[in-house]
Structure 1
């Protein structure tokens, strides 16, 4: 099996990533280039081929969501107006996650015995779990409360459905990050593996799915009367928790890389 081709842009981006994080390596190996090229801002060969189909799928999903208004018993004016924002967030998450996943698999499959695989430690911290619980647990609790205590049933189940879809995508990405074997060939690449695992959690940041709920209070007021402060507080708490989680993970990754700098 031949080694996957790496581009000059990926090699330069990987070098910049290492310099930015204060890591010096005598030789920039293909393993590091495959793992850090995209994360450093370069685009792997052929990455654009799925963009157009993905955009078409995103547009079709939004049209399908809007068509729910024509179903019997559905009050179209109560469909949460942030539906397209959910689909946009999914598109952005996957557009960052899929190239990372492909290049990591290629790094893992390098010929010979260059890659050492072992199970990683648990990468998620308490703030990451808190962001998940606030976003999906808090959102579900609010939607169910609206469903059982108000006549705005369409608003509630449409929000629940979109939240569940975002939860599935987030769970898929988190599972890939947490279950990914350690891929390393020396102490430097071992530290890089631990650092990028923490930084990859930013791709799956769940709080992005709390933001679209602000669309209704800010535009057409499809939300039930009296729930606007609750919805805004929910979104603010989710985002704040996510910001803290991102900062903590950034600090953890810097400390890991400082040990081999």
Structure 2
């Protein structure tokens, strides 16, 4: 049975400890000790990441429902409901980020000492230029698709494009909130191994949020099939080119463990 751990509440569960051990092994940190602090930090990140995925799925389903309820025509009430959904998404993501940061702060308060030469990685170490460029191009491409649909004479397509733009803005805002949280997250480490694990967590979270599921899914869900053939071809090309670029970046970039050691060595 778990016992209290100062500042962290209940001790990490046996499942969390096993999962932390597997995580260390996957990242070649075999000599690093599995601690309740590390297990708790990894567990809260898994749960927060699941919460983000659920909220983004709700955004996709909610936008489809709004389009259906409005009869593919601008209606005040469904559009207000969509705006409320996007606002709720931002509030929910802020609460998830606060939860993760709170666990980190409590974990840091339990450490008897801090790692020497503690670092605070910037966006280039956490995300990297290739991933940052990919995110910017993906968001810009999705916005361009939605903007081009606004110029179609069909009122149904224009209405769908408005819904798409609102949802894309909400999804992009969530991405910015997550990246801001990653960059401001406190460093929690007491030795070189735990410092490496801290940086790996940041890099993994950053790479996870670059997966543009909303930007790729929403144009297909909302506008594909209603817009002209040229728009459909552009949407398919956008997804295929983006997928190819994403795979190429993942194959060329070093693993999160290697990137973390490089970031630490550069400081």
After superposition, give the CA deviation of every residue in 1:4-24 in whole Å (9 maximum; x if it has no partner): 121111111111111222212
After superposition, give the CA deviation of every residue in 1:92-135 in whole Å (9 maximum; x if it has no partner): x96xx657555434423435545776422332212212221222
Matched, 1:134 2:137: yes
Structure 1's 246 and 38: CA in aligned 2 closer, same or farther, altered over 3 A? farther
Matched, 1:236 2:240: yes
Q: Over the residues paired in the alignment, what is the CA RMSD in angstroms?
A: 4.3
Aligned partner of 1:18 in structure 2 is 24
Aligned partner of 1:7 in structure 2 is 13
8 Å Cα contact 1:199/1:249 also seen in 2:
no
Unaligned runs of 5+ in 2: none
Structure 1's 200 and 248: CA in aligned 2 closer, same or farther, altered over 3 A? farther
After superposition, give the CA deviation of every residue in 1:169-223 in whole Å (9 maximum; x if it has no partner): 11111111122232211110111122121111233124212321233677xx122
Q: Following TM superposition, by how much is the alpha carbon of 1:233 offset from its aligned partner in structure 2, in angstroms?
A: 1.0
Structure 2: how far apart are the matches of 1:12 and 1:258? 27
Matched, 1:157 2:157: no
TM-score (normalised: structure 2): 0.69
Aligned partner of 1:120 in structure 2 is 121
* Secondary structure of residue in 2 paired with 1:182: coil
The count of residues paired between Structure 1 and Structure 2 equals 238
Matched, 1:253 2:254: no
Moved more, 172-181 or 62-71: 62-71
Structure 2: how far apart are the matches of 1:103 and 1:247? 33
Greater share of helix: 2
Aligned partner of 2:205 in structure 1 is 200
8 Å Cα contact 1:11/1:37 also seen in 2:
no
Unaligned runs of 5+ in 1: none
Aligned partner of 1:211 in structure 2 is 216
